[in-house]
Chain A
Amino acid sequence: MATAPKIDVGTDYKEKYGFFVPEEYIFKAKRGLNPEIVKEISWMKQEPEWMTKMRLRSLEIFRKKPMPTWGADLSVIDFENIFYYLKASDKQSKTWEELPPDIKATYDRLGVPEAERKFLAGVSAQYESEVVYHSLQEELTKKGVIFTDTDSALRDHPDLFKEYFGTVIPPADNKFSALNTAVWSGGSFIYVPKGVRVDIPLQAYFRINAENMGQFERTLIICDEGSFVHYIEGCTAPIYTTDSLHSAVVEIIVKKDARCRYTTIQNWSTNVFNLVTKRAVAYADATMEWVDGNLGSQITMKYPSVYLMEPGAKGDVLSVAFAGKGQHQDAGGKMIHVAPNTTSTITSKSISKGGGRTSYRGHIKMYPGANNSKSFVKCDALLLDDESRSDTYPYNDVDAENVTLGHEATVSKVSDEQLFYLMSRGITRNEAETMIVNGFIEPFTKELPLEYAVELNRLIQLEMEGSVG
């Protein structure tokens, strides 16, 4: 007899029921995607109505949009077999013992501290960096900088949030941005006021909350006029997750004379589909720099882009992709020149090994009126054996006048001459190959904070030994 009464958690919930006790609500994680789940997510987070509606609208868009027919093969993703929202307590149910041995071994080899590796492996939802975090927060608050998780930002800074959320990447941009907007959770929110420079890089790591490591994280960064911030997402140590789909959205607004650098080191375990939309808009004389490293995942599709909206805006993408056995890294960048005198560079370095596949996919668009603009694209691919593969797909659309557009692409193998030279000095073949690969990505590594650079080099070393993934 007893069918549980269906609770409408949609609009006017508070008005109808007049109370709100999320503590007593037992959220059962369910697989699959439908409006009920989306409403539940929004309700769990006590979101304002506009967000609930936006999520539902995005779900509709997601359903209508076809899967991309280009890039990597995504046909194996089963959207009905995914948990779209898990509470932190559900995420922690794994134990250290359940982790795959290769992930544990990598943590050992990298010398990742105990507390940190539990966090990375999803065993603990908290990374014990509260002390660092609190002193940093005080410092930031003094300057008027907001650095928080995106859920809290919606709650605590509703006006600022609403003004910018979804303006750079609207839900209808692509299938996965629609999906993200429907089910997003976690991510970082940063606001840097006019003229404020944040001297130390802000890292997602510092935040107490593990939400930033979620599947559908959503990041929003606003650099007000003349400000500067460097944000670092992810880390070099492999992040283990049983979730098979990671689909994040990152939106950045860089106002006049401001500069933003966004550094990513993605090292998801190799069961993950990593489909991320990252876009920034840069206004007059502003600079946006994407530093993007992709090592992990089974498939990555990611093309950080910059819309150069006003004269003097500058966009840079510097990316590295490493594809080992069974991996496909389809990455690149997009530069959209809207205003005159705008400049952009894309530097892409890729390494394929053991049958891995890398693709560079880039788009340079110069709209009418984007006169006197310059763009330079350089992609270098290094193949470590004959079974590996690398492709380049550059798309250029130029409707502006008096522009400079350069494209340079190289594909090379580790040369016998270089190997012989290093080996003739007593260096083993494996170490020599590792050195050559690390040398190849050095233009990327040197842009990283030292501790990241060191870890990345060690990680490449492990990859080269074939002991990882």
Chain B
Amino acid sequence: MADFEIRDLKASVEGRQILKGVTLGINKGEVHAVMGPNGSGKSTLSHTLMGHPGYTVDGGEVTFKGKNVLELEPDERARLGMFLALQYPVVVPGISMTNFLRTALNAKRGYDGKDKSKQISPKEFRSMLKTELEVLHMDDSFLPRYINDGFSGGEKKRAEILQMAMLKPEIAILDETDSGLDIDSIKFVAEAVNRMRGPELGVLIITHYTRILEFIKPDFVHVLVDGKFVLDGGPEIADRLEKTGYSEWVKEEDSPKEVA
């Protein structure tokens, strides 16, 4: 059994079943890519895995560290070691990025406002931040800004990866992190993710296009069509999709090469 095991996962949104039985095992150290055309269920997969209240699980199991992930609240999943970089990061006014990052980090470390020994020290926090900001080519002017408030598309996505770098998850799901990014931003994001790759991290990249996979080489590629995997294999699948698109499975589909 893989470190992170998805078995026959079925999920629906507003009464309509979108995921129709997805099975996937991710081991730490591996990078998996899930590719699929619009409406294939990619976002449903990422949101269901993280426990978004708008998605209903109809069946199947997700196990991680011996726990049934589907029974946990999103914050419990995060503290267990899961992370989701959102396609559309949410604006939360009035809370600075610094405050957000510190609160999240402290939550991850099990600090509940009482046991101060679990709290990250200001010095440690600053030095962690400094390192990760440099990797992502960000300056600290964005830290006092409110969460995602007035961020450009590229800034939002980089901020997601910054959170990932700070929280150090064991299973990271990147939901269309490449969409809406210019080539420089993709490179910075990819560089940051590649830096985190290693035996302690399993990654699930969800993408429509192959472009990000040129920078973050996947070990496995899965093609999702109409809520099910229609093809599993190695990185060669991405190359194949690069040429033919999703035309094998769906009609009138745009080419995966196209830049969003």
Question: A residues within 8 Å of B by Cβ?
Answer: 415-418, 420-429, 431-432, 435-436, 438-443
Contacts and interface: CB of A to CB of B under 8 A. Distances in A.
Interface stretch (B93-101, B215-223, B230-238): B93-101
A422 B92 contact: yes
Contact of A440 (B74, B77, B94, B167): B94
Nearest to A444: B94
B74 A420 contact: yes
Given A424-B50, A425-B163, A442-B94, 8 more contacts: A416-B54, A417-B90, A421-B90, A424-B84, A428-B107, A429-B73, A431-B103, A439-B94
B53 interface: yes
B55 to A, nearest CB: 10
Most buried by B among A417, A422, A426, A435: A426
Contacts of A427: 75, 78, 103-104, 107
B108 interface: yes
Given A421-B86, A421-B89, A438-B95, A431 B73 contact: no
Contact of A443 (B94, B95, B100): B94
A416 B53 contact: yes
19 contacts: A417-B90, A420-B90, A421-B86, A421-B89, A421-B90, A422-B104, A424-B78, A425-B78, A425-B108, A425-B167, A427-B104, A427-B107, A429-B75, A431-B103, A436-B92, A438-B94, A439-B146, A440-B93, A442-B93
Contacts of A442: 93-95
Nearest to A428: B75
Interface string B236-251: 0000000000000000
B77 to A, nearest CB: 8
Given A416-B53, A428-B107, A439-B146, A423 B92 contact: no
A439 B92 CA distance: 7
B130 interface: no
A136 B118 CA distance: 41
Contacts of B257: none
Contacts of A439: 92-95, 146-147
B100 to A, nearest CB: 7
Given A416-B54, A431-B107, A423 B74 contact: yes
B92 A418 contact: yes
B126 interface: no
B28 interface: no
A417 B167 CA distance: 20
A424 B79 CA distance: 9
Given A424-B50, A424-B75, A441 B92 contact: no
Contacts of B84: 424
A207 B73 CA distance: 50
Contacts of A423: 73-75, 78
B104 A426 contact: yes
Contacts of B78: 423-427
A421 B88 CA distance: 10
Contacts of A436: 92, 95
A424 B84 CA distance: 7
Interface string B80-123: 00011010011011110001100110011000000000000000
B51 to A, nearest CB: 8
B75 A435 contact: no
B52 interface: yes
A440 B89 CA distance: 18
A311 B155 CA distance: 45
B243 to A, nearest CB: 36
Nearest to A427: B107
B145 to A, nearest CB: 12
A428 B74 CA distance: 9
A418 B75 contact: no
A443 to B, nearest CB: 7
Most buried by A among B79, B90, B146: B90
A423 B92 CA distance: 13
Contact of B95 (A415, A426, A435): A435
Nearest to A432: B75
Interface string B170-186: 00000000000000000
Given A420-B53, A435-B103, A426 B167 contact: yes
A430 to B, nearest CB: 10
A235 B75 CA distance: 34
A422 B90 CA distance: 9
A328 to B, nearest CB: 25
A180 to B, nearest CB: 36
Contacts of A421: 86, 89-90, 92, 147
A416 B77 CA distance: 17
Contacts of B86: 421, 424
A414 to B, nearest CB: 10
Nearest to B164: A425
A422 B167 CA distance: 13
Contacts of B94: 438-443
Interface in B186-220: none
A421 B91 CA distance: 9
B109 to A, nearest CB: 9
Contacts of B108: 425-426
A438 B84 CA distance: 24
Contacts of A440: 93-94
A129 B147 CA distance: 40
